[in-house]
Amino acid sequence: MRRVFSVTMVAAILLAAGVIGRAVALDEDRAAAIAELQTLSQSTRTAQMRTDHLEGAIDLAERDTASRAAVLEVRPAFVDEVAALGAAMAGAEGKVDTAAHRASVLSAQQTVLAERKDPATVVAATATVHALIDRVGEDVTTWEAAQYAAPEGPAWSSSGPDGYARVRAALDAVGGGGVGLYESSSCAGGTAPACANSNGYIKYRADISNWGADRLRWAMAHELAHIYQFRVWGALTSSGSYQSMFGGDPEFLANCMAVVRGFPGSVGCNGDQQAWASGIWVGAVR
C-alpha cells in the first residue's frame, strides 16, 4: 500500500512539475510574442513617420518647384526690359547723366537674381526698369530740346555776322557742331570771354571774334568741355577721383578736356589727368 502511495505521489509531483514547466514555457512564448508585437508596432510607427516625412518633403518640393517655375516664367520680360534700358542709355551717352539709372537697374538685377519664390517681385522689378527707360527717354528729349534753346534776340550783335561766323567755325572745328552759340556780354558780368550754359548752349563776348584761330579754338573747346560736364554733373561732383585729381575744379578739368581734344591752353595737366578727363567726353565718370 505504501509503495502504491509513493508511486502515486511521485506521479503527482512529476505531473505538477510538467504543468508548471508548461506554464512557464507558455509565459515565455507569450512574452516573446508581446515583445515581437511591440517591435512590429514600433517599426510600423517608424515607417509611418518616414512616410509622413516623405510626403511632406514631396509636397514642399512640389510647391517650391511651382514657385520657381512661376518666377522663371516672368524673368524673360525683365531681361527684355534690361536690354531695352541698355540701348536707351547707350543712346543717351554724352547727353544726359545715367549714373543713377545704372545703379537702379543693377539693384533690380540683384533682386531678381536672388528671388526664387515670388514672381510678383520680378514683375515689380520689371516695372521699375521700364520706368527707367521712360525716364531716360524724357531726359534725352529735354536735352535735345535744350540744344535749340536760345536767349531772346539775334545770335549776334556787335560782333556782326562775320565775327559770329568765325566763332561758329571754331566751335564746329572742336566738335561743337549743333551746339547753340550766341553773342552776349553777360558771362561773369562781362569779365569772362565766353561761358557755357547748363541748358546746352555757349555764349561769347564780341571781342573774341578777333582772336587768333588757335586761341579761339581753345576757348571753344574749353566751353564745349563744360557742356559735356553738365551732362554728367551729378556723377562728376560726387566722384572722389574728380576731387582728388582736379580739386573739384571744373575749369581745370575743362582745360584738361581741351588738351585731350588737341587744344592745349596755358594750364597743362599730366597723363593720368588727361586719361581721366577723356572719359567725360564720352559720358563716363570713372
**Domains contained in the chain, number:** 2
Q: Is 276 within the bounds of a domain? A: yes
Identify the pLDDT of residue 4.
Answer: 56
Residue ranges of the chain whose pLDDT lies below 50: none
Q: Is 173 within the bounds of a domain? A: yes
Instruction: State how far the alpha carbon of 73 is from the alpha carbons of 61, 105, 109, 130, in Å.
Output: 18, 20, 16, 18
Range of the domain at 88: 10-146
Instruction: Write down the residue that cell numbers 569779365 correspond to.
Output: 191
Identify the pLDDT of residue 102.
Answer: 85
Give the whole-angstrom CA distance, residue 175 versus residue 190: 25
Identify the pLDDT of residue 77.
Answer: 92
Q: Is 194 helix (H, G, I), strand (E, B) or coil?
A: strand
Q: Is 63 within the bounds of a domain? A: yes
3-state secondary structure 255-275: HHHHHHCCCCCCCCCCHHHHH
* pLDDT, tens only, 246-257: 999 999 999 999
Identify the pLDDT of residue 257.
Answer: 95
Statement: the pTM of the whole predicted model exceeds 0.85: no
Identify the pLDDT of residue 63.
Answer: 67
CATH no. for residue 171? 3.30.2010
Give the whole-angstrom CA distance, residue 258 versus residue 218: 7
Q: Is 1 within the bounds of a domain? A: no
